[in-house]
Amino acid sequence: MHTVIYLVRHGETDWNLARRIQGHSDIALNESGRSQAQKVGVRFRGETIHAVYASDLARARETAQCIAENVGCTVSTLTTLRERCYGEWEGLTYEEIKVRFANMDETACGIETFEDMQQRAAAALTELADRHAGKAIVVVSHGGLINSFLHGVTGGQQGTGITRIDNTGISVFHYVDRRWEVVTVNDTDHLED
């Protein structure tokens, strides 16, 4: 018996376009992001999905709602599925950060450590897999969190610094005998016209 988790990144925001760090900032989808969310929702139509979860941030919630409407579920939100907290860096581009915080340690800027985010992601997703054992669920989250989880599951072979997770990219994981297996990473076929 295995559990299937479809881990989906939220649709595009204006801050994604401007390459601004979002973190815990609650930025809504832009027009393109809403279109992506509709397309990923249609992608799940006809799939047997037992539950839909999302980060409580608007960009993830709205994406998840489009999926939930197509599979006959409601969306449950969890703060543990949020993006990494970037503290004082949120709203800035990497170029702006280099100028403003050139010699400052990340922890002095209120940034969550990578390890803390990775542990938070693993704990949240494992708890959901246990709760829905033998079923299929969709979880809508954020690129940094998804990549950190992928990094942990593959022992650093994929994920942070290696793998790109596009807006509404779908990554599929199986949870079998308390072990995670990677099935698909960053499937964006639903965005092709």
- The answer to whether 83 is a known catalytic residue is yes
DSSP one-letter code for 48: -
Rounded Cα distance between 64 and 71, Å, is 11
Candidates 10, 12, 112, 151; catalytic one? 10
**Where does residue 52 rank: exposed (0-12), middle (13-18), buried (19+ CB within 10 A)?**
buried
The neighbouring-strand residues paired with 174 are 4, 181
3-state secondary structure of 76: strand
C-alpha closest to that of 5 among 193, 163, 150, 167: 150
Query: How many Cβ atoms sit within 10 Å of the Cβ of residue 100?
Result: 12
4, containing H or E segment:
strand 2-9
- The answer to whether 24 is a known catalytic residue is no
Q: Which amino acid is at 153?
A: V
Candidates 24, 50, 62, 83; catalytic one? 83
3-state secondary structure of 7: strand
Q: Which residues are catalytic?
A: 10, 83
